[in-house]
Structure 1
């Protein structure tokens, strides 16, 4: 997975009503619907993420002794890298899935990271006092939330004054690929419909600056990084992940339950992904918006 930078795993629940100020705790929340779920194909993708390939924009800001909260930390691979970068400072990851938290906790033990811990958490109601962390990070989380601005306000609440809130999200309509198989165009349309049915925003990358400003931040540094899949190994990996996800994940279950697709349609889309993966001239680019915001 190659990256080209141009300067410039989900922990959410839906929160109704007015949003809290920096000094107020938010009210209890209702759960959002996670479009991807925790199917093996999804976790296979999340396990491939590292600070180097998914948080390059943040790494220069991480120094020894800082405290980091990783929101929606999933299997914990990025969080583990953060723990190494800020040691002896503490890194904490939160996720709403107990199974995923257990797997991440096991990872911390396996890697002997005593400054790393994971726990259940809700991005709309973080279980930490005001001004708790030097860095609050969320990777590919805001795109799955029904109220990303509320989440950003809560992330800002637990960040220390002058601390960093760092967010990075893909932009699905910004993705492009070759060969341009019609079934993959169908995949994009279906993904947009499923995500929006869940009151989520799949084209989150282009909206990050707007959301961060709406959350009250004024000291903001935007950037963009692209995941590129163009080698044979990269194509095979990405095609396998999405071919399996289209037929076996929560996304597939939702597409059928919402009346947006049937099993035959999903199988055709899955086959198209595998066909793209075997194309010697295959190319897939995924743009990601990024923001460093000072609390």
Structure 2
């Protein structure tokens, strides 16, 4: 069982990993590009299936290295297989809890986390731990969702958003906290003048993008740990989940449909 400080409402089922595997340095961590050098040593916290981790490793060749950690081992064999298939040898993966990272003080040049803090009960403690393992002058980089919007109006998609927020808050999580990352960083010990704030977006509107995003969310409503827990814990009925799944299918099939997600980003220098 994960430690009680972990509040992750999803699992590592196929539809979840489908969305996570889409994430790359370019579409999910481009704010880090200017700070990557051929010898940068990076820790990627909450690496999941490793798509961002492996991309980071490619961008710090030939002398840089990347370590990816995840609080459970489930996605790590696939992450290592992906690295092997792409011929990326300067990356490794291991189990590690963001609240007690298994590394010495000041071990890394960059410590990165993407959509991790929203899933834990004490994000300030997590940022403080990330700060501990980054070198003096190094960077802690964090990106979290801040808000969602879509077209056309959809009661089913709105119900999906509200369901996710209810489930996460019930577990002690912090849904869509991108707007307050700089505050958490200050509370974790970073000086305000050494915190750079920013924002990034995802947008899904082409047929391929709608199928990727909407199709994955449809599948999550039908078969994932999220759906299982929603039913088990009384947050939604099977009818509710079916309505959300059908709303996502309608989104996929609507040529005018559009879904946007705003992220907050911080770069924090120790």
Given the two structures, how large is their TM-score scaled by the length of structure 2? 0.96
| 1:81-135 deviations in Å (ceiling 9; x for gaps) | 1111112111100012212111111122222222111111110010000000000
Can you give the 5+ residue segments of structure 1 that lack an aligned partner in the other structure? 1-12, 15-29
CA-CA distance at 1:31 after TM superposition: 4.8
CA distance in 1 between counterparts of 2:41 and 2:107 reads: 8
Are residue 226 (structure 1) and residue 177 (structure 2) matched? no
Aligned-partner SS, 2:74: helix
User: How far does residue 247 in structure 1 lie from its aligned partner after superposition?
Assistant: 2.1
Residue 10 of structure 1 corresponds to which residue in structure 2?
none
- Aligned residue in 1 for 2:134: 159
Please list the CA deviations of residues 202-223 of structure 1 after superposition, one character each: whole Å capped at 9, or x if unmatched: 1211121111111111110010
Match of 1:190 among 145, 163, 175: 163
Looking at structure 2, the residues matched to 288 and 214 of structure 1 have their Cα atoms a distance apart, in angstroms, of: 20
1:51-62 equivalence runs, <5 A: 51-62=25-36
User: What's the offset of the Cα at 1:289?
Assistant: 0.6
Distance 2:100 2:135 in 1: 17
Aligned to 2:6: 32
Deviates more, 1:69-78 or 1:30-39: 30-39
Structure 1 residue 275: Cα displacement: 0.5
Query: Please, which of 235, 258, 268 is the counterpart of residue 243 of structure 2?
Result: 268
Q: Which runs of 4+ in 1 moved over 3 A?
A: none
1:199 is displaced (CA, Å) by 0.8
Q: Distance in 1 between matches of 2:31 and 2:238?
A: 40
TM-score by length of 1: 0.88
Name the counterpart of 1:181. Answer: 154
Looking at structure 2, the residues matched to 245 and 102 of structure 1 have their Cα atoms a distance apart, in angstroms, of 22
Residues in 1 aligned to 2:207 and 2:199: alpha-carbon distance in whole angstroms:
25
Q: Which runs of 5+ in 2 are unaligned?
A: none
State the SS of the aligned residue for 2:75. helix
Structure 2 counterpart of 1:8: none
Instruction: Give 1:20's aligned residue.
Output: none
Number of residue-to-residue matches in the alignment: 266
RMSD: 1.2
Q: How does 1:275-290 map to 2 (within 5 A)?
A: 275-290=250-265
CA drift at 1:286: 0.5
> Residue in 1 aligned with 2:179?
206
Match of 2:17 among 19, 43, 46: 43
Correspondence for 1:65: 39
1:243 aligned residue (190, 193, 218): 218
For 2:266, the equivalent position in structure 1 comes to: 291
Once residues 244 and 176 of structure 2 are traced to their aligned partners in structure 1, the CA distance between those partners, rounded to angstroms, is 21
Contact preservation (8 Å) 2:113, 2:141:
yes
Aligned residue for 1:252, secondary structure, equals helix
Looking at structure 2, the residues matched to 209 and 258 of structure 1 have their Cα atoms a distance apart, in angstroms, of 33
Alpha-carbon distance in 2 for matches of 1:99, 1:39:
9
What do residues 250-287 of structure 1 show as CA deviations (whole Å, max 9, x unaligned)? 11122112211111110111001110111111011001
